[in-house]
A and B are shown apart, each in its own frame.
Chain A
Amino acid sequence: MENQVLLSVKNLKKYYEISQGMFKEKIVVRAVDDVNFTVMKGETFALVGESGCGKSTTGRAILRLTEPTDGEVIFNGTNLALLPYEKMRSLRKHMQMVFQDPYASLNPKKSIRQILMEPLKVHSKFDKKESLQKVISILQIVGLSEYHLDRYPHEFSGGQRQRIGIARAMILQPDFIIADEPVSALDVSVQSQVINLMLELQKEFGLTYLFISHDLSVIQHMTDRVAVMYLGKIVEIAKTEDLFNNPKHPYTQALLSAVPITHPKEKKERIILKGDVPSPANPPSGCTFHPRCPFAMEICKSELPDQARFEEGHTVNCHLYSQNKEEINYAISHS
């Protein structure tokens, strides 16, 4: 089971066109721009980045909740990006999604029974009686009970709704779940309950997660490998522990250093980035990070960096690592 590729994303792109009126050229927003990564069976792979970096769009494009502009999404050997709608629809039982906002992602007019029965009905997995048994058992698994069957979403608290959202994703026994900021709308004390639930479910059912989040402490806690995104591109991929111990990309370094301390006595060296994230409609030339990068060199302004590979699958897209070593050392020591 280990080291088997479940999902591989190749050159995935999602561009949005914004019309500017008749006489101006359309603006192309490159929400996801040439993203590559693979997810192994049974692991938790994280996409991390700040708002607008394209991590959610990547997740949605993989499941074709938004149609990708270009690229391949190979899931268990099938290229999802090319599947006709109906084929894709029947494949969806193997891959599910948990959404950020548990309030918005449940239909307010449907009872919990209806919400949870629907996936089973759609994929006609079981007869009615069996389905109900499944629904009840999944409710118990996520920490609710059959007592809640005929209630409506607005009768639940945020944490409970997210449990229902997870139950809906789990009921078809998928192999793969994309969780898009599943805990960021929740309070701290409820957050830990939901993280625990997700960890338990993974252990019990051998699930693979694609975990999308901006919260680095949650990512550090529960994921195996991380891809860091900036302006629609992946800048670094590494094992979680590697990434947190030895971040290589200047953006990753800044991002990690910005994570708030967890104890007042902790002292932290901060790399405070200049300015704001540029608009993906008008990204900087060359390496998109160069205007904010403390180590920016001439080459960064004009050329897109290649991927540099390190041990254990740690990859970085940065000119610092494609140049010769001396220059790197120079740049780092003079920062």
Chain B
Amino acid sequence: MTVDFPKVPHTTKIRNVRKNRQSAITTFFLNLMRSWTGIIGFIIILILLLISIFGQWIVPFDPLLADFSKKLLPPMTGGHLLGTDQLGRDIFSRIIMGAKISVIIGLSTVLIAGTFGTIVGIISGYFRGWVDVVLMRIVDVQLSFPFILLVLVINAIIGSGLRNIIISLAIGGWVIFARVIRSEVLALREQEFITACVATGVSKFGILFKHILPNLFTPIIILSSLQIGTYIIAEASVSFLGFGVQPPEPAWGNMLNEGKDYIFSSWWLITFPGIAIMITALGVNLFGDWLRDTLDTELKGE
């Protein structure tokens, strides 16, 4: 009982109707234009990225060069826009260089924690069984310990430095990804379109890679963008407490740590690095919120 499909003449050209669709980038900017906060966040991030890439060429002074004759100069004196610190180093230059450290830490932590957490989340959520039970118990245990404290303890044990603070943050941060991605996978698994794939005869791995993974892209992007801000603030806190990035590296956190002893005499030491952290976190958060709002509505359709 084979009934053939009606023949379609071979001359039929397959038209591509993509022409009248917006490209992804155009859509991105059109959506961005609708939100003030999104634009602000985007601009802050853009500036941050630019100065962390080109910072070393635009700094007016060597950020590491100490000059005791110029120590604790207030802002706008001697060509020092934001003044100098207790060793006579230019604060403006140090903040610019600090941006690079924050960006490196934020991005690499999100990359490591995100990748690891996502993998765990997918394994846990898709294959379930005892693997899921074990992994989620671990996540539960870790989540039952304050993030910042965990990072501090780990960092104190494994030692300071840029690499180690990234490792500490990643160890502290992967669980959020694992938790969120797992619940996304669980929700996706129950979706009718996944059942439809099983009914079609798509293999388990086909379903995972072709149907579940692409649908995880959005939650991963949203979560990552929101986590970067957390990581940057956490790093600053850890460095402020004397762990993390060590002097003389100009991280915003340890600048505040060094400056806090001069709080009664020289306000600028603690003011500007803090503002830098705040603006960065603000930009990342605003952008992340905007991303979540637009992508979420996109997910839901119209």
A and B touch in the complex (CB under 8 A): yes
| A positions within 8 Å CB-CB of B | 1, 60, 63, 65, 85-86, 89-90, 92-93, 96-97, 99, 101, 103-110, 118-119, 122-123, 132-134, 136-138, 140-141, 146-147, 149-151, 154, 165, 168, 172-173, 175, 204-206
If the complex has contacts A150-B16, A150-B17, are A104 and B3 also in contact, measured as CB distance less than 8 A?
Answer: no
Within 8 A of A (CB), among B177-235: 191-193, 195-204, 206, 210-211, 214-215
With contacts A101-B192, A107-B193 taken as known, whether A140 is within 8 angstroms of B6 at the C-beta atoms is yes
> Which chain B residues border A104 with CB–CB below 8 Å?
191-193
B1-25 near A? 1/0 per residue, CB < 8 Å: 1110111101010111110000000
Asked, given contacts A137-B6, A149-B17, A150-B16, whether A63 binds B201 with beta carbons under 8 Å apart, the answer is no
Within 8 A of A (CB), among B233-250: none
Residue B79, interface by CB 8 Å: no
Residue-wise, chain B 109-127 has the 8 Å CB interface mask toward A (1 for contact) of: 0000000000000000000
Let me know if B129 is at the binding interface, CB within 8 A: no
Q: State A315–B202 Cα separation when bound (angstroms).
A: 38
Closest to B204 in A: A85
Closest to A101 in B: B192
**Residue B299 CB within 8 A of the other chain:** yes
A173 touches B3 (CB 8 A): yes
Query: Is B301 at the interface (CB under 8 A from chain A)?
Result: yes
Across the interface, which residues of B come within 8 angstroms of A92, CB to CB? 199-201
A107:B211 contact, CB within 8 angstroms: yes
Q: Are A146 and B14 in contact (CB under 8 A)?
A: yes
B67 CB to closest chain A CB, in angstroms?
58
Q: Is the CB of B192 within 8 A of A105?
A: yes
Partner of A204, one of B3, B191, B202: B3
Please report the total number of B residues contacting A with Cβ < 8 Å.
35
B-side contacts of A132, CB under 8 Å:
14
Give complex CA distance A151, B15 in Å: 12
Measured between C-beta atoms, what is the minimum distance from B36 to chain A in Å?
A: 27
Which B residues are CB-close (under 8 A) to A173? 2-3, 5
Question: Could you list some 14 contacts between A and B, CB below 8 A?
Answer: A65-B195, A97-B196, A97-B199, A106-B193, A108-B299, A122-B200, A122-B203, A137-B6, A141-B6, A146-B12, A151-B17, A154-B302, A168-B196, A175-B1
Known: A104-B191, A106-B193. A96 touches B214 (CB 8 A): no
Cβ contacts B282-302/A at 8 Å (1 or 0 each): 000000000000000001011
A101 to B191, CA, bound (A): 11
| CB <8 Å contact, B301 and A154 | yes
Q: Report the minimum CB–CB distance from A145 to chain B (whole Å).
A: 10
- Is there an interface contact between B302 and A1, defined as CB atoms closer than 8 Å? no
Q: How far is the CA of A164 from the CA of B70 in the complex (A)?
A: 75
Chain A positions within 8 Å of B211 at CB level: 107, 110
Instruction: Contacts A106-B193, A107-B193, A154-B302 known; list 9 others, CB within 8 Å.
Output: A65-B195, A90-B201, A93-B201, A104-B192, A132-B14, A134-B5, A141-B5, A150-B16, A206-B1
Interface pair A118/B193, CB less than 8 Å apart: no
Q: Which chain A residue shows the least CB distance to B302? A: A154
CA gap between A123 and B203 in the complex, in Å? 10
CA distance A1 to B1 in the complex (A): 9
Asked if B201 and A119 make an inter-chain contact with CB atoms under 8 angstroms apart, the answer reads: yes
Contact indicator B301/A63 (Cβ below 8 Å): no
A105, B17: Cβ atoms closer than 8 Å:
no
Whether A149 contacts B14 in the complex (CB less than 8 A), given A104-B191, A104-B193, A137-B6, comes out as yes
Q: Using CB atoms, name the residue of chain B closest to A123.
A: B201
Chain A residues whose C-beta falls within 8 Å of the C-beta of B7 in the assembled complex:
137
A63, A138, A149, A206: the one contacting B199 at CB < 8 Å is A63
